[in-house]
A and B are shown apart, each in its own frame.
Chain A
Amino acid sequence: MPYRYLEGITSADFAFEATGATIQELLQSAADAVLALMVEDPERLSAEVERVVDLKTEMKDPQAAVASLLHMLLQRIIYYKDAERAFLRPAAIEIIGPESGKLELHCVLRGERIDPKRQALGTDVKGVTYHHYKVTRNRREWKATVVVDT
């Protein structure tokens, strides 16, 4: 499982750990972890709605840059949940500059309009916090710890 929810970090909201062999996989895993709080089986969302997200960041090192990009991407998914009333999931992720502190993300998000009649809804996610927020990398994988406010 590319993500798991964590105990012992927050009582009022949700914390998770997401992993990925690549930056792209990490972003996908973390996005799914957030979406899965709001709707059951986000992997089964159809592709009726599409949005393209372009994000940039410049930080002192690659891990900090990935952390910054991840935070922005998750915030954008949460934004679309309200602004477009849609659950949108990364369908294609392109990363430019992955070994530097200067990263660009080009991501195609696809998903469905929110519909309580068709979807099993969960909890509203308000935003991504910096509480225990961490992105690390070892030889095998990238790992992120994220707490979202619900």
Chain B
Amino acid sequence: MSQSSAYALPPSMRKISENLWEIPIGFKSGMRVPARIFASEKLLKQLDDAVIDQLTNVATLPGIVNAAYCMPDGHSGYGFPIGGVAAMDPESGVISPGGIGFDINCGMRLIRTNLTLAEVQPHIHKLVNRLFQRVPSGVGSSGFVNLSRREFREMIDQGARWALNRELAWSEDLDETEDRGCAVGADSNSVSEHAITRGIAQLGTLGSGNHYLEIQVAKKENIYDAEAAKVMGIDRPDQIFIMFHCGSRGFGHQVASDYLDLFLKVMESKYGINVLDRELASCPFRSPEGQAYFSAMKCAINMSFANRQVILHRIREVLSEVFGRSARDLGLQMIYDVAHNTAKLEEHWLAGKPRDLLVHRKGATRAFPPGSPLIPEKYRGVGQPVIIGGSMETGSYLLVGEKSGSQSFYSTAHGSGRTMSRHAAKRLFRGRELAAKMEEHGVFVRTDSYAGLAEEAGAAYKDIDEVVEVARQSGLSRPVVKLTPIGNIKG
């Protein structure tokens, strides 16, 4: 199967509204629901052909409800496309590790500051260098929090609350984290000793690839919703923010591998489930294996929340050191923390009735609307904050969920989406030249891997402005502010 930028779309695909396309049941044998893609004509032309195949494969999974969805930043993945969303009936449906991904709870955290561009710019090199020294990143990096195996098990059961108990968090941080930083029901007995060994030294690390820590500025002309911005603590011109993107590290990756292999062994022999792609290996959600994976996945979700929490603690220490003021005085408060790769039991209204559904989001962000009791009280007037990361050259967005997001189980995009392979990007771009060019354009970047930096060139990604505009027009989420990078740490 080839990856093409000029893929011939299925003849049966039809446009059902502006920026929403549907491939009907019947396109592929076994489809139980249609496949729906949120995309402009421009983004549709950039879609690689594997997305159509993968999304319509997802539509064949037992228990899937409504449709298999692809978000505006969608691109091909394994099993599910990245940007894939699928909700299953928990009683009759399956859970699929391919619908979550290797990096369980890869996610984003955004922090406001009381600082402005004028205050930070003169110190940007010092700040980035110090963050680079003190927030471990890159291949094989080890974290700054040493845990025994017993403590690691406690942490994966408790998530960000574990960090609070060790004074590595402010209590309000948990309020501003999706699910308050803890997936309830995690049981460390559901993970392998192998997974613990693989992850035990990595608490407090960024990782590499598309993981990063960025210092950003909100320019006045990039604030689109002044009311929502004010609620989120955006309260001065050229305000500085810190955003970072990372996940559950080797622990989560091992949990994913362990359970993919288990599901492949039992799904057909024990449950009679056949899938069109091994990466869609599934078990009934209520089966012992399905429940064990759900519990293990929650452990990885919790590890990732704890990871981002301790990194925030380190960021506060560094900024306090560089600017000579306390973190409280610097106003280093969280705006929100969102997860990209999860499966969650949620209540959604379908055909006028509430239903419990297992919502898989792989490279997609939950975006609850205004009024949702599941988001912090202070955001219920405007909607759940959503953080969509662009490339390191283009900037990122803070958005809010919308009531019209019910069409996708309140899911929206998570990033820009790649248009070029990592291998192609490494051939076309030189990391050191890219870093120099970025500095000329006002972004100082530090990395341990210039090869990795080349892979992350802005040209390898879709236009983030287009992705966000499609999300807005489609009613999935509404932009509040665009954040422009001025400093970046890449693993």
Contact = CB atoms under 8 A, between A and B. Distances in A.
Interface stretch (A9-17, A47-55, A94-102, A136-144): A9-17
Contacts of B422: 11-14, 123, 150
B264 to A, nearest CB: 8
Interface in A4-57: 5-15, 38-40
A124 interface: yes
Given A75-B257, A82-B250, A124-B207, A12 B278 contact: no
Contact of B455 (A75, A114, A123, A128): A123
A86 B250 CA distance: 13
Interface string A102-138: 0000000000001010001111101111111100000
A12 B102 contact: no
B172 interface: no
Interface in B350-408: none
Contacts of B418: 11-12
A123 B76 contact: no
A73 interface: no
A71 to B, nearest CB: 9
A150 B209 contact: yes
A105 B360 CA distance: 37
B2 A8 contact: yes
B140 A82 contact: yes
Question: Most chain-B CB neighbours within 10 Å: which of A14, A116, A131?
Answer: A131
B48 A11 contact: yes
Interface string B62-79: 000000000000011111
Interface stretch (B197-205, B216-224, B309-317): B197-205
Given A10-B421, A11-B421, A124-B209, A130 B78 contact: yes
Nearest to A128: B257
B75 A11 contact: yes
Contacts of A121: 138-140, 208, 448-449, 451-452
Nearest to A39: B139
Nearest to A11: B418
A79 B3 contact: no
B140 A79 contact: no
Interface residues of B, number: 51
Q: Which of A79, A114, A132, A133 is the most central at the interface, judged by chain B CB atoms within 10 Å of its CB? A: A79
Contact of B77 (A12, A82, A83): A12
Given A114-B140, A116-B138, A127 B102 contact: yes
Contacts of B423: 5-7, 14-15
Nearest to B103: A126
Given A14-B422, A85-B142, A130 B209 contact: no
Given A8-B2, A12-B422, A82 B209 contact: no
B419 interface: yes
A22 to B, nearest CB: 26
A120 B207 contact: no
B348 interface: no
Contacts of B198: 79, 82-83
B448 A116 contact: yes
A123 B451 contact: yes
Contact of B278 (A5, A78, A87, A130): A130
B132 to A, nearest CB: 11
B256 interface: yes
A147 interface: yes
A116 B277 CA distance: 38
A149 interface: yes
B424 interface: yes
A126 B419 CA distance: 21
Contacts of A89: none
A61 B256 CA distance: 27
Nearest to A13: B422
B3 A8 contact: yes
B99 interface: no
B253 to A, nearest CB: 4
A85 B4 CA distance: 37
Given A7-B423, A12-B422, A82 B76 contact: no
B194 interface: yes
A131 B279 contact: yes
Which of B1, B4, B102, B277: most chain A CB closer than 10 A? B102
Contacts of B78: 129-131, 147, 149
A130 to B, nearest CB: 4
A99 B448 CA distance: 44
Contact of B420 (A11, A38, A85, A130): A11
B249 interface: yes
A127 B449 contact: no
Contacts of A86: 140
A108 to B, nearest CB: 20
A117 to B, nearest CB: 10
Given A123-B449, A124-B208, 12 more contacts: A6-B423, A7-B424, A10-B3, A79-B254, A82-B250, A85-B142, A120-B449, A123-B209, A124-B209, A147-B78, A149-B101, A149-B253
Closest 9 CB pairs of A and B: A114-B140, A82-B250, A130-B278, A124-B208, A126-B253, A11-B418, A131-B78, A126-B102, A8-B3
12 contacts: A11-B48, A38-B140, A40-B451, A82-B199, A121-B449, A123-B139, A123-B422, A123-B452, A127-B254, A127-B257, A128-B257, A150-B422
